[in-house]
């Protein structure tokens, strides 16, 4: 794949290496959003189908990305909403435990802490126990697998670590969860859209993804895949939109008892968000067109000179789109920060490392600019 910068409207003089913070909107998504806004002028042009059809199409697109049906996907406002909904429906094991990783994102951790307190389970934060870049992924994954046992109620983990990009081996983790009858709850916010994922193959029970990063979607919208074990569950709220008769506007006060099938009951209220849905849909369409596999290949090729320059390797420990770079010893850290700012490079500082995240709009000039400031610091 060639660089896709022309499909975005990024500042031409800024090196945006921070998609993990927020993804930019595509031109097509902007256009879709603007059209959606204008449609709000005249509600007389709207009919019942406008409440449901585009939402269904958008869920189906997300399903294609993660390998499930659209009906297995619920719309959520945020990752924290998704986890609140999921954890409301998980039975605990007696004197059990919940496994997560050190410094996991708070949306997962706060939900797990609350659940553990309510259910008298122990929350275990698995550490990598090494800082060696060549070993961290293997070691950390090994430690996670060892920690999962018959007492584990669930594992709650991201696809890749949000602060350093370590890639979690969800295939092995999913297998161990199945062997131990534990659920695997995954936060895909930092990779879904940019890295291939298959919820069936990985034996994922639930996958939540906020749309505003790698799905190149809007803020305040996300997707949640749920497997069949949740389909009798209790949603957080009782939206009329989630009942099977929702399209029949004149019959809503029959107070239909039956929810829509599969994950349908778990969508947030007012899920037919007329402005955000078209934006999310445009992002998903473009990503499916590119394919996450091709995006990873693009990212790998793009960033190779950076790793060569620093004489380090990714070694499969880190994802290609999101990784931490150790600041070389010879670098003056303050000067590096100054130079990064001066040269209009946008990255995230995470502890002692720089978090770099790239996508198909990034160019070799962006990577060269970063190499130059590291050299000059």
158, 105 Cβ separation under 8 angstroms:
yes
3-state secondary structure of 140: helix
Nearer to ligand PLP, 97 or 158 (CB): 158
**How many Å apart are CA 29 and CA 72, to the nearest integer?**
24
**Cα diameter, the chain:** 72
**How many Å apart are CA 45 and CA 39, to the nearest integer?**
8
Minimum gap (Å) between residue 256 Cβ and ligand PLP: 31
**How many Å apart are CA 178 and CA 349, to the nearest integer?**
37
Q: Which of 239, 236, 226, 265 is nearest to 84 (CA)?
A: 236
Minimum gap (Å) between residue 317 Cβ and ligand PLP: 18
Tell the burial category of 109 from Cβ atoms under 10 Å away from its Cβ (0-12, 13-18, 19+).
middle
Task: Using CB under 6 A, pick the residue from 18, 72, 80, 271 that binds ligand PLP.
Answer: 80
Nearer to ligand PLP, 79 or 324 (CB): 79
Nearer to ligand PLP, 104 or 366 (CB): 104
Minimum gap (Å) between residue 162 Cβ and ligand PLP: 3
Residues within window 139-158 making contact with ligand PLP, judged by CB under 6 A: 158
Nearer to ligand PLP, 210 or 374 (CB): 210
C-alpha dist (Å) from residue 97 to 73, 105, 123: 27, 19, 6
How many residues touch ligand PLP under the rule CB under 6 A: the total is: 11
Q: Over the Cα atoms of the chain, what is R_g? A: 22
Does residue 162 interact with ligand PLP by CB under 6 A? Answer: yes
Minimum gap (Å) between residue 112 Cβ and ligand PLP: 13
Minimum gap (Å) between residue 281 Cβ and ligand PLP: 19
Sheet holding 183-187, edge to edge: 73-76, 222-226, 206-210, 183-187, 152-158, 97-101, 122-126
Nearer to ligand PLP, 173 or 369 (CB): 173
Minimum gap (Å) between residue 51 Cβ and ligand PLP: 24
Residues within window 185-244 making contact with ligand PLP, judged by CB under 6 A: 187, 189-190, 210
Number of residues that this document lists for the chain: 377
Does residue 107 interact with ligand PLP by CB under 6 A? Answer: yes
Nearer to ligand PLP, 79 or 262 (CB): 79
DSSP annotation of 6: G
Residues within window 40-79 making contact with ligand PLP, judged by CB under 6 A: 78-79
Does residue 324 interact with ligand PLP by CB under 6 A? Answer: no
Nearer to ligand PLP, 159 or 317 (CB): 159
Task: State the residues that interact with ligand PLP by CB under 6 A.
Answer: 78-80, 105, 107, 158, 162, 187, 189-190, 210
């Amino acid at each position: 794949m060639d660089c896709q910068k022309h499909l975005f409207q990024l500042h031409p003089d800024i090196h945006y290496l921070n998609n993990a913070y927020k993804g930019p909107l595509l031109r097509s998504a902007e256009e879709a959003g603007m059209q959606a806004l204008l449609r709000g002028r005249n509600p007389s042009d709207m009919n019942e189908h406008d409440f449901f059809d585009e939402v269904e199409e958008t869920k189906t697109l997300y399903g294609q990305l993660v390998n499930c049906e659209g009906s297995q996907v619920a719309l959520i406002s945020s990752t924290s909403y998704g986890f609140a909904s999921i954890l409301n429906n998980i039975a605990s094991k007696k004197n059990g435990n919940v496994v997560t990783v050190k410094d996991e994102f708070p949306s997962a951790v706060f939900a797990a802490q609350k659940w553990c307190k309510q259910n008298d389970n122990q929350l275990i934060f698995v550490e990598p126990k090494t800082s060696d870049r060549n070993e961290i992924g293997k070691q950390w994954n090994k430690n996670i697998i060892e920690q999962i046992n018959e007492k584990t109620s669930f594992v709650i983990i991201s696809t890749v670590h949000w602060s350093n990009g370590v890639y979690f081996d969800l295939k092995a983790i999913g297998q161990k969860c199945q062997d131990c009858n534990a659920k695997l709850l995954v936060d895909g916010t930092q990779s879904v859209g940019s890295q291939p994922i298959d919820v069936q193959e990985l034996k994922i029970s639930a996958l939540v993804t906020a749309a505003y990063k790698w799905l190149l979607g809007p803020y305040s919208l996300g997707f949640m895949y749920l497997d069949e074990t949740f389909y009798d569950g209790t949603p957080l709220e009782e939206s009329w939109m989630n009942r099977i008769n929702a399209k029949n506007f004149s019959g809503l006060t029959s107070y239909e008892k039956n929810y829509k099938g599969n994950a349908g009951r778990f969508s947030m209220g007012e899920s037919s968000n007329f402005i955000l849905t078209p934006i999310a849909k445009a992002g998903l369409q473009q990503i499916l067109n590119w394919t996450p596999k091709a995006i990873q290949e693009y990212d790998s090729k793009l960033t190779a000179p950076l790793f060569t320059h620093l004489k380090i390797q990714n070694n499969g420990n880190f994802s290609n789109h999101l990784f931490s770079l150790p600041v070389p010893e010879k670098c003056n850290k303050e000067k590096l920060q100054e130079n990064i700012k001066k040269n209009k490079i946008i990255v995230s500082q995470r502890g002692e490392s720089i978090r770099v995240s790239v996508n198909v709009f990034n160019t070799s000039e962006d990577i060269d600019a970063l190499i130059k400031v590291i050299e000059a610091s």
